[in-house]
Amino acid sequence: MRGSDERSGSLFSYVDLEARVRPDHPLRKIREIVNAALSDLSTAFAGLYTDFGRPSIAPERLLRAMLLQAFYGIRSERQLVERLEFDLLFRWFVGLGVDDPVWDHSTFSKNRDRLLEGEIAVKFLSAVLAQPKVKRLLSSDHFSVDGTLIEAWASIKSFRRKDGDDNDSEGPGRNAERSFHKEKRSNETHQSTTDPEARLYKKGDGRPAKLCYMGHALMENRHGLAVGGFVSQATGTAEREAALALIDSRHPTSRRITLGADKAYDVTQFVHDLRERSVTPHIAINGHLSKAGIPRKTAVDARTTRHAGYEISQRCRKRIEEVFGWIKSSAGLAKVKLRGRERVDAAFTLALAAYNLIRLPKLLAVQP
C-alpha cells in the first residue's frame, strides 16, 4: 500500500531530545567533557555577572554554541543561530529544549567582550586538559611548538600612512582602488585603519605580504594534543618569543623536557635560552646555503642530534601542522572575522580547545 505524502501536524511532541541522539554519537562524549570543564569554570563565570538585573543567556550555552561553530565550520553567527532553530542535535548539545527560543545573533557580540575580560577561552582550554581522563593522555616530557599566520579582517587598501600623508584614492566611494606604486610601506610608518593591531607580513621571499596576526601553539608529543597557545602580532621574532612564553607557562620547574621545532627556531640565542630553562632543543637544522654556497652555521650541536630521541621529536613535531590545518580549514580561522588582537586570541584559543575535543572520543575509546 502506498503511503500518503500529506503532512499531519501534531499539537504536542513527547519525544525527548536525549532520545533523538544516537547512543554512540561522538558529541555525547564531547558534551560530557565540555560540561565537566564548564562546571569547573562556574566560579569564573559568576565573577563576570552582577547579582541584580535581568538574567542573561547562560555563558555555558554560548560557549557550547561557539564550539559547534568550530566543529561544523559554520561561517557566521547568523548562520549558527539559524541552525539552532531547526537542528535538534545542535539544540541538544547547547542545552536548549525543543520549544526554547533561540537568542539573537547579536548576543555573541555583546557577550564576547565580557568573556574576553575573564580570559574564559584560556581557562576553558586548561579545564579541558585538567579532566582526569584527558590528563592521563598528555605527555609531560616531550613537546613541540610552531607558529602560523592568521589573515586579519582588513583590506590591504586600509594600510595607510600614520601621518595621514597618503596618495589620493583612485575612484569614488570609501572603498576606492588604491595605488601603492613606488611607495615604500612598513609597519613603522603605516597602519591599517580598520584593524590597527594587524601587521603587514609575508611568509617568505616571493610570497605576498598580507595584514595578519601570528598564532602560536604548544603540542604534547604523545597524542598530538594542543596544551597551550595564543596570538601575537606578526614579527620576525614573534615565534621564538612566543615559544619561550609557552614553555614558561607550561614548564615552571627545572625538570628537563624536550622541545621540537622547525628550522626557523635554529637561532643561537633561542637555543641558549632553552638550555637555561632545562629544555633540550630538538630543533631542525637550518642548512640554508648562502650566495657563496656556504651552509649556514647551526646552533644545534651533536650533544642533541646524536640521541635517538632527536629523530623521534623531528617526526612528532610535524603533527602540529595538523592542528593549524584543522583550525584554518574546519574552524574557519584562515581569515579571522574579528578585529583586535585580544578577540583574535580568544577565538584562536577556543579553536585549540575544539581541536582537542574532536579528537578525544577516539583517544578515550582505546584507553583501558
CA torsion angle 234 238 242 243 (round to 10)? 130
281 DSSP β-pair partners: 259
Flag whether pLDDT at 260 surpasses 60: yes
| Encoded amino acid at 352, one letter | L
Q: Mean pLDDT: which of 115-129, 142-156, 174-188 is highest? A: 142-156
Flag whether pLDDT at 137 surpasses 60: yes
Residue with cell 576553558: 124
Q: Between 290 and 159, where is the model more confident?
A: 159
In angstroms, rounded to a whole number, what is the distance separating the alpha carbons of residues 168 and 172? 11
Length of the chain: 368
- What pLDDT sits at residue 279? 93
- What pLDDT sits at residue 163? 81
Phi, psi dihedral angles at 184 (to 5 degrees): -85, 125
pLDDT confidence bin for 4, thresholds 50/70/90: low
| C-beta separation of 329 from 101 below 8 A | no
- What pLDDT sits at residue 261? 93
pLDDT digits (tens, 9 = 90+) for 61-84: 999 999 999 999 998 889 999 999
- What pLDDT sits at residue 341? 93
pLDDT digits (tens, 9 = 90+) for 274-328: 999 999 999 998 877 777 777 788 888 888 888 898 999 999 999 999 999 999 9
- 126 exposure class (CB count in 10 Å sphere: 0-12, 13-18, 19+): middle
pLDDT digits (tens, 9 = 90+) for 198-234: 999 988 777 888 999 999 999 999 999 999 999 999 9
- What pLDDT sits at residue 189? 85
pLDDT digits (tens, 9 = 90+) for 90-133: 999 999 888 888 888 888 887 877 787 778 999 999 999 999 99
pLDDT digits (tens, 9 = 90+) for 6-59: 666 666 666 788 888 899 999 999 999 999 999 999 988 888 887 877 878 888
- What pLDDT sits at residue 301? 84
Residue with cell 520549544: 99
In angstroms, rounded to a whole number, what is the distance separating the alpha carbons of residues 28 and 26? 5
- What pLDDT sits at residue 156? 85
Phi, psi dihedral angles at 219 (to 5 degrees): -120, 140
- What pLDDT sits at residue 348? 95
- What pLDDT sits at residue 170? 61
Flag whether pLDDT at 168 surpasses 60: no
- What pLDDT sits at residue 321? 95
Question: Rg (Cα) of the chain, in Å, rounded?
Answer: 24
Phi, psi dihedral angles at 281 (to 5 degrees): -80, 95
